[in-house]
Structure 1
Amino acid sequence: MKFLLLIGFLVLILTWWVDGGVGAITDSMVELTLVQSAIPKGAVCLDGTPPGYHIQRGYGSGANNWLVDLEGGGWCNNRRSCLFRSTTALGSSKYMDKTYFSAILSNKAEENPDFYNWNRVRVRYCDGASFAGEGYDNESGLYFRGQRIWSAIMEELMGLGMSSAQQALLSGCSAGGLASVLHCDNFRALFPSQTIVKCLADAGLFLDYVDVSGLHGLRSFYDGVVTLQGVAQNLPERCTSRMNATLCFFPENIVNEIETPMFLLNAAYDTWQIQYSLAPVSAIQDGPWKFCRLNYAKCDSSQIEFLQGFRKNMTTVAESFYQSKATNGLFINSCFTHGQSVLPDTWYGNNSPSIANKGIAQSVGDWYFNRSEVKLIDCPYPCDTTCHNLVT
């Protein structure tokens, strides 16, 4: 699977931009801030360059509230893939630039009614292990310092006023969603007890599920990430004390024990997991999954049955998560997509995805502000007509 996971994420990122069209590009272009003070701490990207973030200041009623979003973009599990990654913006700040804030980061009330006037931050992702690695590879000269990057940027944000936040939300999409899970309780620990702190993981519920050849391909890939980048030492001890560290990189094995209120937003037929975990190219070759993996409309009844099994596993994990803590929230819709908080059309559009007539942004807001209990799990495909399905 060498480059497939990274390439898959790059393709999906480009697809998000294309699908979002003009609506995804607003006037909220935000400059990059590099954290030069992180270098002496060894908190650097894969190539040794300083990490970075983007920030738009809050105002009015949101002046003392903070939303911190962790960028996603896959992982690297061996020297070769990490070296390739270090020549991109996902491994080096040399290739980073200003970015657009939209959807959950939008500064427009009509796009983001609950968080538009908060202090909003996008933390750039340049380590390849969901901000959880700790190590250095002498042979390649690569730095695996995701955990230090997390700490250095949080320290900087606290110094910029986040330490006095009245309300705070840690969010992330995809690999950033996994990072939100891994760092949720760490984020809570930054603030005094009176601060309202919660976490959102979008498209971060990666499952340890068998692929179409009967193997645990994602588990094997994650094992490379955890081993190469020294992730084990930064995973929850309550998990690593009872199972293999690689298994503790899967959210399903740690979400029930997170103490901070968390919201899981996920598509039950997550297209990244279908294309790069359930039916990866390495497993299908020219077999019957060649077209189904890219377009659900080309799946036969047996393939749909397999995907329904994956959905059932996800909803079982989600139900257990919700029942583990009354303060948790859920929005699991039966769509073929990946990441729904990052585009205006899916986050808060006129025809955005919904369950029981409630959209994603409203669901997250209702949960965060305790306006109502949010436990929304969709009926199986093909019942949902509100989906923005992704096909390639």
Structure 2
Amino acid sequence: MPGGPRFGRCMLALVSLLVLQLRAQGILTVGITYVTEAVDKGAVCLDGSPPAYHFSEGSGSGINSWLVHFEGGGWCHNTISCISRRDTRSGSSNHMEKEFNFSGILTNEQPFNPDFYNWNRIRVRYCDGSSYTGDVEEVDPVTNLHFRGARVFQAIIQNLLSRGMKNAENAIISGCSAGGLTSILHCDQFRAVLPSGAKVKCLSDAGYFVNANDISGAPHIEEYFSQVVATHGSAKNLPASCTSRMEPSLCFFPQNAVEQIQTPIFFLNSAHDSWQIRNILAPSVSDPQGIWNICKNNLQKCSPEQLIIIQDFTNKFLAALRKGSRSPYNGMFIDGCYVHCQSEGQGAWLENASPMIDNTALKLNLLLQTIAKAVGDWYYDRNPIQRKIDSAYPCNSNFI
């Protein structure tokens, strides 16, 4: 029977080997922190449980530098869809993993993350379904749904300030997907709570969702975001500079909100974002016979007609991106990979096969930039004008 000191030594050796393998890939395992004091403020997940995050402490020159990264996970737009999230990790900290692997922009290995490896790095778990914009006081006793995303954001930030972020000299709010939208919508709010002399910027990874009709000609995503805003009571927590000019639900789209945001933002996105093509351009509701299923799984298997439609969608995305990001302080890295989110995984962020682009040197194969270098150069003002766009598919690396 297995057991005894020998078995224990074998297990310890296996665990040690696994840790070494993860480190070799730039991956760090970090435990969970529950913000229990938030419950008394009503700042809770959909099910009423406390919000949570994973925190890897900074060191050396990064001791007063903070990277707060919000994970993604879509949204819920009505009672039924929110109930389906409520008892999962997307709606309850009771169902979240106790440990999480940090890689990409969150890793503590310098070769894999040269500019931010020794910062205080936080991954905020997503459990409200509104990109942290909701705030409805009433709780239906039948569903026990709490729409309190805006309060959760405030509680998380206040908790981090008490842990030392109030002394920040450098800071970034970042996020992937719905978290990338969070980093846009809360960009100026994040800046406002930090010291006036701190260098504060925002990074949105795959969060620039475009308002475009689907393949049937219907405004599916506009209607969906309108339902999200109505369900969560989000209107009062969206940027006032936008809601004073148009319907609040339209301010869920970055193209309508970012022009008035004062804090510098970096947009990391694919021009052929896989989530947007699957859910904005060709959602299942507009394709009941599944004609687009094969194409959505592999763009190389799309028909010529489908590729024309996708290219038109890509052009609309790029036009919306340029319209909403005219500030000379903003930056972007737009590649042609068929992916969704590229900062969290080491393969896209910084490895030998990571996406690399440079408008002025691509064809000469010179001065190619990885995502990690582009973001670092922009943040530290080593090369502040970072506007890299190469939307050709497939992307110009082995990373697809």
Q: Deviations over 1:4-59 (max 9, x none)?
A: xxxxxxxxxxxxxxxxx968976521111101100110000000000011101101
Is residue 265 of structure 2 the alignment partner of residue 262 of structure 1? yes
- Under a length normalisation based on structure 2, what TM-score does the superposition of the two structures give? 0.89
Is residue 130 of structure 2 the alignment partner of residue 129 of structure 1? yes
SS of aligned partner of 2:111: coil
SS of aligned partner of 1:200: strand
Partner AA of 2:207 in structure 1 = G
Is residue 219 of structure 2 the alignment partner of residue 207 of structure 1? no
User: CA separation in 1, counterparts of 2:210 and 2:25?
Assistant: 32
| 8 Å contact kept, 1:335–1:387 | no
Q: Deviations over 1:275-301 (max 9, x none)?
A: 122111111122532311221011111
| 8 Å contact kept, 1:321–1:328 | no
Q: How does 1:365-380 map to 2 (within 5 A)?
A: 365-372=376-383, 373-380=385-392
Out of 235, 238, 242, the position equivalent to 1:239 is 242
Counterparts in 2 of 1:387 and 1:203: CA distance versus 1, 3 Å: farther
For structure 1, the residue ranges without an aligned partner over 5 or more in a row are 1-20
User: CA separation in 2, counterparts of 1:117 and 1:26?
Assistant: 13
Structure 1 counterpart of 2:355 = 353
User: CA separation in 2, counterparts of 1:235 and 1:58?
Assistant: 31
Structure 1 counterpart of 2:336 = 334
Q: How does 1:89-168 map to 2 (within 5 A)?
A: 89-96=89-96, 97-135=98-136, 136-138=138-140, 139-168=142-171
| 8 Å contact kept, 2:205–2:268 | yes
Partner AA of 1:62 in structure 2 = G
User: CA separation in 1, counterparts of 2:42 and 2:297?
Assistant: 40
For structure 2, the residue ranges without an aligned partner over 5 or more in a row are 1-20, 359-367
Displacement over 4 Å in runs of 4+: 21-27
Partner AA of 2:123 in structure 1 = R
SS of aligned partner of 1:264: strand
Shift of 1:387: 5.7
Q: Deviations over 1:165-189 (max 9, x none)?
A: 1100100000000000010000000
Structure 1 counterpart of 2:281 = 278
Structure 1 counterpart of 2:82 = 82
Between 1:313-322 and 1:274-283, the stretch displaced more is 313-322
Structure 2 counterpart of 1:386 = 397
SS of aligned partner of 2:129: coil
User: CA separation in 2, counterparts of 1:305 and 1:387?
Assistant: 24
Partner AA of 2:340 in structure 1 = H
Shift of 1:245: 1.1
Shift of 1:238: 1.6
SS of aligned partner of 1:201: strand
Q: Deviations over 1:185-233 (max 9, x none)?
A: 0000011221000000000011111111111111111111100110011
| 8 Å contact kept, 2:49–2:93 | yes
Shift of 1:379: 4.2
SS of aligned partner of 2:208: coil
Partner AA of 1:347 in structure 2 = W
User: CA separation in 2, counterparts of 1:102 and 1:380?
Assistant: 27
Shift of 1:322: 3.6
The number of residue pairs the alignment matches comes to 367
| 8 Å contact kept, 1:46–1:145 | yes
User: CA separation in 1, counterparts of 2:251 and 2:109?
Assistant: 38
Q: Deviations over 1:220-275 (max 9, x none)?
A: 11111100110011011121112111111111110111100000000001100111
Counterparts in 2 of 1:279 and 1:89: CA distance versus 1, 3 Å: same
| 8 Å contact kept, 2:335–2:389 | yes
Q: Deviations over 1:51-77 (max 9, x none)?
A: 011101101111110000011111001
Counterparts in 2 of 1:370 and 1:213: CA distance versus 1, 3 Å: same
Is residue 37 of structure 2 the alignment partner of residue 37 of structure 1? yes
User: CA separation in 2, counterparts of 1:47 and 1:379?
Assistant: 41
SS of aligned partner of 2:88: coil
User: CA separation in 1, counterparts of 2:23 and 2:127?
Assistant: 27
| 8 Å contact kept, 2:334–2:391 | no
Structure 1 counterpart of 2:54 = 54
Q: Deviations over 1:128-170 (max 9, x none)?
A: 0001100144242200110000001100100000000110010
User: CA separation in 1, counterparts of 2:79 and 2:325?
Assistant: 38
| 8 Å contact kept, 1:46–1:143 | yes
Between 1:305-314 and 1:133-142, the stretch displaced more is 133-142
Partner AA of 2:36 in structure 1 = Q
Counterparts in 2 of 1:174 and 1:153: CA distance versus 1, 3 Å: same
Structure 1 counterpart of 2:375 = 364
User: CA separation in 2, counterparts of 1:162 and 1:290?
Assistant: 46
Shift of 1:386: 1.5
Counterparts in 2 of 1:375 and 1:269: CA distance versus 1, 3 Å: same
- Under a length normalisation based on structure 1, what TM-score does the superposition of the two structures give? 0.91
Partner AA of 2:316 in structure 1 = N
User: CA separation in 2, counterparts of 1:250 and 1:38?
Assistant: 29
Q: Deviations over 1:366-392 (max 9, x none)?
A: 00000112011114335x331622xxx
Partner AA of 1:366 in structure 2 = D
Instruction: Report the RMSD for the aligned CA atoms in angstroms.
Output: 1.6
